[in-house]
Chains A and B, each alone.
Chain A
Amino acid sequence: MKVEFQINNSTSPNARFLGWAPSPCRIRVTDPSGAVPPIADIAISCVSTATGGVVVFRKGTTGSFASTITLKVPTNGTSVPFFTAGRFGRPSLSNPDVRIEARAKLGLAGGPLILVGSVKVMVRVRKNAESLTAGERDRFVAAFAQLNNQGAGRFADFRNMHTTVSSPQAHGAPGFLPWHRAYLLDLERELQAINPSVALPYWRFDQPAPKLFTVDFFGVSNPNGTVQLSNTNPLQFWVTDGVQGINRGPRNNWVPTTQPGPTVITEAQTLALGTQYPAFSGLEGNPHGTAHTRWDGFIRQIGTAAKDPLFFLLHCNVDRLWAKWQRLNGRFDPASAASYDSNPGNPIGHNLIDTMWPWNGITGAPRPPTAPGGALASSPCVSAPGPQPLVSSSLDYQGSINATSRQGFDYDDVRFA
């Protein structure tokens, strides 16, 4: 007997990526020889290394996950659904480092379980930049450098999305968090098109970052505020607007490798800003804005911030803080008043029912004059949030309220449930 797995309901190898939120899967018998019709009992479990990813399973949309489940699978080829997810705290280190196996008893009852099929997957989540292995770091940096391609690559669109002109779409109103969530997801999917094992890491700006600010990762600032990189680091070829390199220097004697960002509020303080979205969204000032202005250089100002790749790790942490706050307070449901600030005076692009620029392609006042980059990148793993996301699409990113809203990303320290 042989079986075939569908991960994220797809047979494509590109869809074999999991997070903490449950992924819909299917299994079917492709070769019934040796099986006793009409039903085969098939045990599904995972094999992983000591430090790599681990996945767990459940049969339906609810209930607890287990390391092994047994499914009754028709031998006539009809597929049977099940769900799998990464075990919280055990993400993968490389792609693929987890094998899902199917075993069945063939022939006489009481016989051994025989391997009848397997599929390799990766538990891919966004991690603290400080916790990346050298391999994870190098793959991420290489993909980012390739996306920029010395200023001539697709990354130019991302820079053109985040400018002074487009700022009202993304800042100074409740859509700040949803817009940047979509922006990061779009970028991450483009990076994954280059290397599917990559997930966007985050920079904990309220903690020292001794690994991130090294020549092999995001660089060390010289006294003039120019970033120095090693000869093996692909970011040494970073060019934006024709200008070589990255301008970034810590301000006021701050040493980012040993000190948290000065005056940047901590994670605990951020999560305690308030249990209602209007209060929590005050994080746009501090820690978000304050983390930007701890530096001299590109990242200090809106028009130039996205020229520095650190910008995306800073915002990934802002998004993680929102995700953590959402989990802590149960704020995933757009229909719940506490989950968002639905003030009738919100500008366009900041109401739950609004589409978000530039993915909506709408240009001309009150939207910006151009819409760089086209639709939001698709994913082989999930269908949400779609090519033209609404503000409301960003809230239920794990599919906690509606499973089809799952966007295919998770944070290493934010559970699904």
Chain B
Amino acid sequence: MTTKKSAPKTTKRRSARTSISIATSQRKVPKERVAAFAEAPLAVCETDANLQAVLKVVRNKEEPVEVRLAAIDTLATAAFSVVAFESCRHDYIATLREVAKDPNAEIRESALGLLAGEKDGFAQEKLLEGLKDPEKALVPPEKALQLLSYDVHAESYEAARNVVENPPSEVARQEALRLLAADANSGPLFEKLLRDKDEYRAVRQLSASALQAINPDKLQKHAREMLLDSSEYEDIQATSLTALNQFGDDEAVAKDKLLLKSIRRMRGKAASAKYKRNAKQFLSKYES
């Protein structure tokens, strides 16, 4: 049954050794070196010489930043092959820790991002330190909070609560709230934020998700109330409707005549076609 069609000619590619050699050569232009790094990511760990040459580029502050970032990306790609990468891992982590304190912000952020994904204790310590003392911060507070969310624990919650109480910026506050969504004790905070019509809508949306995770019954109750409230914002009602549709008690919703009436009204009144469609889909599920 198989039919063999004419295959294209094989692309002539440089050997992995040549690619690594070009990528790590300071005599080549940055653009060529960046491209060469992408050609042979799996060759990084083929020899110790390859690995050390790539790590040297990462560590060398005199190298162009885009080349150093490409070298980090190549290592990150090679790390997907866990077995082959095992012999490189120690030096890789040590180098990332070293450049986590690099003068260049992009290099720091890239290295700390990878270390955070590895649940690296050194990185967590530095991120927390920076939140407590902005003078020591290696990345902005919102990035630190996002990276700490890879491995949440009590100390991160404390740091996040401090940011919520004294936010250096709105984006940092929202990242702190995202982190606190993993904290079962934060239910009352998210209830308050969800029902506060003066609060940023993005925060109310985030609070709905957090509350659904922490206390689903509470979110379902609030979602219903917000759908019945004709003075509530349309976008928040859309979030409420999505919560009921996805996670609600189907039997209870189908019997809730007051709720269905309110959603019929929403379908008729909604300013946005998207919200109309959302209401229509909801009603088609629950109305017989």
Interface residues of A (CB under 8 A from B): 62, 134, 138, 142, 145-146, 149-151, 164, 167-168, 171-173, 216, 222-226, 228, 230-234, 236-239, 241-245, 247, 251-252, 263-264, 268-269, 271-275, 279, 282, 284-286, 288-290, 292-293, 296-298, 300-304, 327-330, 332-333, 347, 400-401, 417
B residues in contact with A263, CB < 8 Å: 34-35, 37-38, 70
Interface range for B? 35 or more
Do A237 and B246 form a contact, CB below 8 Å, given A263-B34, A282-B42?
Answer: yes
Interface residue from B8, B247, B278 paired with A268 (Cβ < 8 Å): B8
Contact B246 A145 (CB under 8 A): yes
Q: Judge if B18 is at the interface, Cβ distance under 8 Å.
A: no
Within 8 A of A (CB), among B112-145: 113-114, 117-118, 140, 142-143
One digit per residue, 1 when the CB lies within 8 angstroms of any chain A CB and 0 when it does not, for chain B 178-211 equals 1101100000000000000000001001101110
Contact A224 B142 (CB under 8 A): yes
CA–CA, A301 and B143, complex, Å:
17
Smallest CB separation, A103 vs chain B (Å): 30
CA–CA, A172 and B41, complex, Å:
12
A residues in contact with B42, CB < 8 Å: 172, 282, 284-285, 289
Do A274 and B10 form a contact, CB below 8 Å, given A243-B152, A243-B181, A285-B42?
Answer: yes
Contact B80 A232 (CB under 8 A): no
Q: Judge if B84 is at the interface, Cβ distance under 8 Å.
A: yes
Q: Judge if B24 is at the interface, Cβ distance under 8 Å.
A: no
Contact B242 A232 (CB under 8 A): yes
B residues in contact with A400, CB < 8 Å: 1-2
Contact B242 A237 (CB under 8 A): yes
Do A236 and B35 form a contact, CB below 8 Å, given A224-B143, A242-B182, A417-B1?
Answer: no
Q: Judge if B166 is at the interface, Cβ distance under 8 Å.
A: no
* Residue of B38, B69, B175, B179 ringed by the most chain A CB atoms within 10 A: B38
A residues in contact with B236, CB < 8 Å: 231
Q: Judge if B220 is at the interface, Cβ distance under 8 Å.
A: no
Do A146 and B246 form a contact, CB below 8 Å, given A244-B209, A271-B8, A303-B118?
Answer: yes
Stretch at the interface among B51-59, B71-79, B259-267: B71-79
Contact B246 A244 (CB under 8 A): no
* Residue of B13, B78, B117, B243 ringed by the most chain A CB atoms within 10 A: B117
CA–CA, A247 and B114, complex, Å:
13
**CB closest chain-A residue, reference B11:** A272
CA–CA, A238 and B83, complex, Å:
31
Interface residue from B4, B84, B146, B174 paired with A329 (Cβ < 8 Å): B4
Contact A234 B246 (CB under 8 A): yes
Do A290 and B171 form a contact, CB below 8 Å, given A242-B152, A272-B9?
Answer: no
Contact B39 A286 (CB under 8 A): yes
28 contacts between A and B (CB under 8 A): A142-B246, A145-B246, A149-B247, A172-B83, A216-B274, A225-B146, A226-B175, A231-B235, A231-B238, A231-B239, A233-B242, A234-B242, A234-B246, A237-B242, A237-B246, A238-B209, A243-B150, A245-B206, A263-B38, A264-B38, A272-B10, A284-B80, A285-B40, A289-B42, A298-B117, A328-B7, A330-B4, A401-B1
Interface residue from B39, B114, B182 paired with A300 (Cβ < 8 Å): B114
Do A239 and B181 form a contact, CB below 8 Å, given A172-B84, A272-B10, A296-B113?
Answer: yes
Interface residue from B9, B38, B117 paired with A303 (Cβ < 8 Å): B117
CA–CA, A29 and B28, complex, Å:
76
B residues in contact with A297, CB < 8 Å: 113
Contact A244 B181 (CB under 8 A): yes
B residues in contact with A417, CB < 8 Å: 1-3
CA–CA, A343 and B233, complex, Å:
62
Smallest CB separation, A301 vs chain B (Å): 4
B residues in contact with A231, CB < 8 Å: 205, 235-236, 238-239, 242
CA–CA, A279 and B10, complex, Å:
10
**CB closest chain-A residue, reference B9:** A272
One digit per residue, 1 when the CB lies within 8 angstroms of any chain A CB and 0 when it does not, for chain B 238-251 equals 11011101110000
